[in-house]
């Protein structure tokens, strides 16, 4: 599996797990701002620079990532930051390989039934994704900034193995979250934007109930891909949590549904 690495060899290690339809490049803004950390960013099997490998499942990808962490990180563990699909894989990782995870930040993870309109939107996006012009349209819908990020999105669409995202979608539709959540006791920050999807917003209180050591927060006036919408706030959230498990200013703690 392709891994992009940046930062000092003995800096605190943190792995960033990307979302659907994108690749590890989505995190480059955060990595540049966290220069004192050792940042590791994979492209999942079948995707981007790992297009030559076979996507099997979220659990299989988590197993592969666990092996990478054990071999490349001091003490064989690191902090995990995951958005959307990356958050799902992060939960699989924490559930299956708790020894490699120091703490977990997950944002925009879906829980429960995914309604027909969202399924139809995803179907339409997958149909467009295989065409360069369609990838540009999707990038605009996803609020991916024009310039290098949008070009990287189109390149990822061109590189990725055909059908990989349909396989990922089918798996998530079948079961949005891994089994055994109650066994995860790692410090976990669960986040969603107020403009994120209903399943993502629903996941915040649910995961706080299921996980033994979770803190739930909302982020006002942001959507799903908010590391690109408000990169400074996202980076500060990561910095504060990794340093002392503090919730950054600008995030609002939640105790129930929102």
Angle at 78 between CA 164 and CA 18, to 5 degrees: 25
What's 197's domain CATH number?
3.40.50.1820
Alpha-helical runs (H) found in the chain: 28-33, 58-72, 85-96, 116-129, 132-141, 148-159, 164-174, 198-210, 226-229, 231-244
pTM: 0.94
List the Cα angle 204/209/215 in 5-degree steps: 55
Range of the domain at 192: 3-112+178-253
Question: Is 22 domain-assigned?
Answer: yes
Check residue 116 and give its pLDDT: 85
Tell me whether residue 10 is in a domain. Answer: yes
| pLDDT tens column, 157-197 | 888 988 898 999 999 988 889 999 999 999 999 999 999 99
Dihedral, 87, 209, 186, 233 alpha carbons, nearest 10: 50
Q: Is residue 85 part of a domain?
A: yes
Q: What does the pLDDT read at residue 94? A: 97
Q: Answer whether residue 93 is part of any domain.
A: yes
Q: Average pLDDT of 145-160?
A: 88
- The confidence score (pLDDT) of residue 258 equals 55
Q: Is residue 133 part of a domain?
A: no
Residue range 130-155: mean pLDDT, rounded: 85
- Look up residue 191 and give its two tokens: 């986040």
- Give the confidence band of 256 by pLDDT, cuts at 50, 70, 90: low
The total domain count for the chain is 1
| CA 81 to chain CA centroid, nearest Å | 6
Residue with structure tokens 């930051």? 81
Could you report the per-residue pLDDT of 209-232, keeping only the tens digit for each?
999 999 999 999 999 999 999 999
């Amino acid at each position: 599996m392709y891994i992009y690495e940046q930062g000092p060899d003995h800096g605190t290690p943190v792995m960033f797990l990307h979302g659907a339809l994108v690749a590890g490049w989505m995190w480059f803004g955060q990595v540049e701002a966290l220069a004192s950390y050792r940042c590791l960013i994979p492209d999942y099997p079948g995707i981007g620079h790992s297009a030559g490998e076979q996507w099997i499942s979220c659990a299989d990808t988590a197993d592969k990532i666990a092996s990478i962490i054990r071999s490349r990180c001091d003490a064989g563990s690191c902090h995990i930051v995951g958005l959307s699909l990356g958050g799902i894989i992060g939960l699989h990782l924490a559930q299956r390989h708790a020894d490699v995870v120091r703490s977990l930040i997950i944002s925009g993870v879906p829980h429960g039934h995914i309604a027909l309109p969202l399924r139809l939107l995803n179907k339409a996006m997958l149909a467009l994704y295989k065409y360069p012009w369609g990838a540009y349209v999707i990038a605009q819908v996803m609020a991916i900034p024009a310039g290098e990020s949008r070009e990287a999105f189109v390149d990822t669409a061109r590189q990725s193995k055909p059908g990989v995202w349909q396989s990922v979608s089918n798996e998530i539709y079948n079961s949005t979250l891994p089994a055994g959540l109650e066994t995860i006791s790692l410090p976990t920050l669960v986040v969603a934007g107020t403009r994120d999807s209903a399943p993502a917003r629903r996941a915040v209180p649910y995961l706080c109930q299921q996980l033994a050591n979770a803190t739930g927060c909302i982020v006002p006036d942001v959507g799903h891909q908010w590391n690109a919408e408000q990169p400074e706030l996202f980076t500060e959230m990561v910095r504060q949590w990794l340093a002392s498990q503090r919730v950054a200013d600008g995030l609002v703690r939640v105790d129930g549904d929102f």
